[in-house]
Chains A and B, each alone.
Chain A
């Protein structure tokens, strides 16, 4: 398991991608899978920036799981609740965003949202059969 905190802004996207690549490599997964995990994290993170009102200076990103399963957990501190699992999807030709939720739902094997102690916690499981 690896966990790291990142500033709560878009400048964290590239460092997060590097964090993912390091973790995927350490687990012996195909490096191509970094792309998928990176995408899931960006969609969740930018969704939180857009809809999660408030928020502290940092978010926490944890990567773990066993065997062919990768579990990622994004925790957004001191924020109002926004549940991405219950948000409606826009039509496919929408130009003003909304594709992210469709991507996350299409790619993930499971998504769980929790809200406790003023933290929004999103956990995604993705299987990468070897």
Chain B
């Protein structure tokens, strides 16, 4: 089960399992974000490369238009996926 909640203030809450079956839904929700975004990953239990791809696409889109993009409150195992993929050198992980 995967849920994504986009708030007006740019805070985006993701929860559950962001796998390849959910990547399109995550992408559609994140495409609605037009300004700086902070993604709260407190309740995200799982992410695969498909999910990482969506997050990197969103980061690039916002970054290229001068907006910020931050990932916060990720569990250690979620952080390890970003690190193994080399994305800790690309994205801001708080």
A96 close to B (CB within 8 Å): yes
Complex contacts, A14 vs chain B, CB 8 Å: 17, 19, 21
Cα distance A39–B85 in the bound complex, in angstroms: 12
Asked if residues B48 and A100 are in contact (CB atoms below 8 Å), the reply is yes
CB B27 to nearest CB in A, in angstroms, measures 11
Q: Which residues of chain A from 31 to 45 have a CB within 8 Å of any chain B CB?
A: 32, 35-36, 38-39, 42-43
By DSSP majority rule, is chain A's interface helix, strand, loop, or mixed?
helix
Asked if residues A13 and B56 are in contact (CB atoms below 8 Å), the reply is no
Asked if residues A13 and B89 are in contact (CB atoms below 8 Å), the reply is no
* Contact (A103, B90) CB under 8 Å given A10-B21, A17-B17, A94-B56: no
Asked if residues B49 and A92 are in contact (CB atoms below 8 Å), the reply is no
Complex contacts, B57 vs chain A, CB 8 Å: 95-96
Asked if residues A13 and B19 are in contact (CB atoms below 8 Å), the reply is yes
Asked if residues A102 and B86 are in contact (CB atoms below 8 Å), the reply is yes
Complex contacts, A46 vs chain B, CB 8 Å: 20, 48-50
Tally inter-chain residue pairs, CB-CB below 8 A: 71
Asked if residues B77 and A92 are in contact (CB atoms below 8 Å), the reply is no
Q: Count residues of chain B with CB under 8 A from any CB of chain A.
A: 21
Q: How large is the interface on A (under 10, 10 to 19, 20 to 34, 35 or more residues)?
A: 20 to 34
Asked if residues A99 and B52 are in contact (CB atoms below 8 Å), the reply is yes
Asked if residues B53 and A99 are in contact (CB atoms below 8 Å), the reply is yes
Contact with B along A63-106 (1 / 0, CB 8 A): 00000000000000000000000000000111111111011001
* Contact (A35, B46) CB under 8 Å given A92-B85, A102-B85: yes
A111 close to B (CB within 8 Å): no
Closest 3 CB pairs of A and B: A92-B86, A100-B49, A99-B49
A residues apposed to B, CB below 8 Å: 10-11, 13-14, 17, 32, 35-36, 38-39, 42-43, 46, 92-100, 102-103, 106-107
Selected A-B contacts with CB under 8 Å, 18 pairs: A10-B19, A11-B21, A13-B21, A14-B19, A17-B17, A39-B81, A42-B20, A46-B50, A92-B89, A93-B90, A95-B53, A95-B56, A95-B60, A96-B57, A99-B52, A99-B53, A99-B85, A103-B85
